Amino acid sequence: MDLGIKGKVALVTGGSRGLGKHAALSLAGEGVNVAISGRTPETLEKTVAELKGLGVSSIGVAADISDLSSSEELHQKIVDSLGPIDILVNNAGGGRPSNTVADTSFENYLGTFNLNLFGAFKLMQLTVPHMQAQHWGRIISITSIYGREYGGNISYMSAKAALIATTKHAGVTLAKDGVLFNTIAPGSILHEQGGWESFQNDNPPEVVEDFIKNNLPMGKFGWPEPVGDLVAFLASEKANLITGACIVVDGGQSHSLI
C-alpha cells in the first residue's frame, strides 16, 4: 500500500530506540526523510545509519525534550538540514519517581509534565505554522493506556491524560487547516532498554508470569512494530479523515470503553 508520504520530512522525538525507533523505521520505509532526537549520541548515530540504509535522508540531534529552552534549536537544526517538518511524532516520554499526591514532590510532578506534555506542546507550536501554510500536516503523540484510565503513578497518568486532551482540542480546532492531530495509547510493550524489559529483569519469573496472566489477554507482552506501523498510517493520506482520535494498541489490556 502506497501511503502517499514519500519525500515528506518527519521528526521523531526519542527516536533512537524503542517505540520511537520503530516509528522512524516505519516512516523511512515509506520514503519519509526522518530526523530523530534523543539524549545519547552513540545510539542516535546507530539508528541514523539504519534509517539511511532504507534510502532516505536522516539526521540525529542530541536533545532533552524536557529542557524547553532547547526546542527552538532542535527545530531549526532539522529545518536547516532536511527542510520544514511535515510530520511530528512526539514519542519522548516516561515517568519519574512518584506514587500518590502525598509522596510526590512538585519538582518531580512538573518534570514529568515537561517530558511528556510541555516539550511536545512546544514542538507543536514550532511546527504548526508551516503545516498550516501548506494546508497539510500530521502530529502524532505517543501516550499510554494509563492516560485514558487509572494506572501508573500520579504524575505519569496526569501528564499522558493532558497530552490526549491537548491533542483532541488541537485536532478539532485545526482540522479545517489540514493539520491532523492524533494520539496512540500503547499498553505494556516489551522492547530493548524499555521499562517492561527492566520489569522482567528485576522481578522473579513468577511475578512476571502473574502480571501477564492477570493483565495481558494475549498471554504475552506487546511488541513495538504495530505501534511504528500505526504511526506511519496516521501520517499518511490514507488517514485523512482521522483527527483528534486516541487509538489503543494494547492487545486488549485496557478496560476503558472509550
Query: Annotated active-site positions, please?
Result: 156
| 144, amino acid identity | S
Cell numbers given for 171? 485536532
Q: What's the length of the chain? A: 258
> Distance between terminal CA atoms of the chain?
29
* Residue 188 CB contacts under 8 Å (≥ 6 apart), including other chains: 196, 215, 216, 221, 222, 250, 253
Contacts of 10 (CB under 8 A, 6+ apart): 24, 27, 32, 33, 34, 35, 85, 86, 87, 88, 89, 235
Question: Do residues 138 and 235 touch, judged by C-beta distance below 8 A?
Answer: yes
